[in-house]
């Protein structure tokens, strides 16, 4: 079972440092500001040179810039990150970010096991057998989704996502021939 999502399904809001787009929140009727969610995936446009991360005590976080170097700062510790370099930290940690970018965020309760992976063109990935997987397209890609004896093909445009449950594996293929080894998607896998 899988579901394709796009801009019409996402929720975009302004925040103090720019704009955030919620790709997925679970359960669906939960709310970021009420802190009653289990996990949330989003992208954000960071328009300020320096921003403070909100306090998400009780949660873990993954952050990754999609387009420009950034530096995270916890007290006097500086953590430089290149684009597509993933960093995990406790949601209650006081953290600043320095640098403008488009980023990818995952926030989740500590009871969950979460994996975030950047996929390259022509890559095949075996999925968690339980839980769910969310594939976020960084460019136009064809996705081959396999479950048991069946294979389905789905075309995702940049910014679209595929929410998968019960599939065995997926294969991503860039639709741009000039980017043969380029990063084409972000795969987030979540299970309890």
CATH number for 44: 2.60.120.10
Residue 163 lies in a domain: yes
CB 154 within 8 A of CB 162: yes
Residue 140 belongs to domain spanning: 113-191
Convert 98-132 to b/e letters by CB count within 10 Å (16 or more is b).
Answer: bbbbbbbbbbbbeebebbbebbebebebebbeebb
pTM above 0.85, yes or no: yes
- The verdict on residue 53 lying in a domain is yes
What pLDDT, in 10s, does the model give residues 59-115? 999 999 999 999 999 999 999 999 999 999 999 999 999 999 999 999 999 999 999
Using one digit for the tens of pLDDT, what is the confidence trace for 113-133?
Answer: 999 999 998 888 988 878 899
Spatial CA neighbour of 116 closest among 81, 57, 169, 64: 64
Domain end (from 82, 109, 136): 109
Strands (E), 94-182: 96-98, 101-109, 113-120, 123-126, 132-137, 141-147, 150-156, 161-164, 169-174
Domain boundary among 94, 109, 124: 109
User: 63 and 44 in one domain?
Assistant: yes
CB 136 within 8 A of CB 23: yes
40 found inside a domain: yes
Tell me, yes or no, whether 131 and 102 share the same domain. Answer: no
Instruction: Note the pLDDT of residue 180.
Output: 45
* Alpha carbon distance 95, 79 (integer Å): 10
Query: How many domains are contained in the chain?
Result: 2
Give whole-number Cα distances, 121 to 95, 141, 142, 174, in Å. 33, 9, 10, 5
Same domain, 86 and 72: yes
- Interval 134-182: pLDDT, tens: 999 999 999 999 877 788 899 999 999 999 987 788 888 887 655 445 8
Q: What is the largest CA-CA distance in the chain?
A: 53
> What DSSP string describes 6-62?
-GGG-EEEEETTEEEEEEEEESTT--TTTT--SEEEEEEEE-SSEEEPPP-TTEEEE
Whether 93 and 132 share a structural domain: no
pLDDT value of position 184: 92
Three-state DSSP string of 97-117: EECCEEEEEEEEECCCEEEEE
Compute the half-sphere exposure of residue 101: CA atoms within 13 Å on the CB side of its CA.
Answer: 24
Question: What does the DSSP 8-state code read for residue 7?
Answer: G
pLDDT of residue 16: 81
Helix (H, G, I), strand (E, B) or coil at 66: coil
Q: What phi, psi does 80 have (nearest 5°)?
A: -75, 135
**Residue with the two structure tokens 């979540």:** 190
């Amino acid at each position: 079972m899988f579901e394709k999502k796009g801009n019409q399904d996402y929720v975009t809001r302004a925040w103090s440092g720019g704009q955030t787009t919620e790709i997925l929140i679970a359960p669906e009727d939960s709310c970021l500001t009420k802190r009653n969610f289990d996990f949330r995936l989003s992208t954000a446009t960071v328009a300020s040179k320096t921003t403070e991360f909100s306090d998400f005590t009780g949660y873990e976080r993954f952050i990754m810039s999609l387009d420009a170097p950034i530096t995270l700062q916890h007290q006097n510790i500086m953590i430089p990150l290149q684009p597509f370099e993933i960093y995990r930290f406790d949601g209650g940690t006081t953290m600043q970010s320095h640098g403008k970018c488009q980023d990818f965020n995952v926030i989740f309760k500590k009871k969950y096991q979460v994996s975030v992976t950047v996929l390259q063109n022509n890559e095949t990935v075996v999925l968690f057998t339980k839980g769910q997987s969310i594939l976020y397209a960084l460019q136009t890609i064809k996705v081959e989704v396999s479950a048991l004896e069946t294979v389905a093909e789905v075309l995702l445009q940049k910014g679209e996502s595929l929410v998968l449950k019960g599939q065995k594996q997926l294969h991503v293929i860039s639709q741009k021939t000039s980017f043969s080894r380029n990063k084409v998607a972000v795969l987030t896998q979540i299970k309890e």
